[in-house]
Amino acid sequence: MSIVSKQVFYAGRVQGVGFRYSAKQIVKGFDVTGWVRNLPDGRVELQASGEESEVIALLKALRESHLNSHITDETETTLAEPVSMRGFVIRHD
């Protein structure tokens, strides 16, 4: 079992469309921890940690959901340190 942490930046019309709330609802179907937040530059940042297969499946589910119509660009990187949280939250910072 290998634990991975991914950071994804979503660009497009991703703020003001319920993106974070919808992402949180989709995450409920996966065994991952992390968070999602709006950025001042108009993008949305998501960080998720869990078993590699779960994180990959989650990111695929986000891409295949209705949110895809709002995304024009997606940048994914692997983080060296796991996201240290319990559950998955919407951050407001």
Catalytic residues: 20, 38
4 token code pair: 């991975």
Q: Which residues contact 7 (CB under 8 A, 6 or more apart)?
A: 45, 46, 47, 76, 77, 78, 79
Residue 40, phi then psi, degrees to nearest 5:
-60, -25
**Residue 78 and residue 64: Cα distance in Å, rounded?**
21
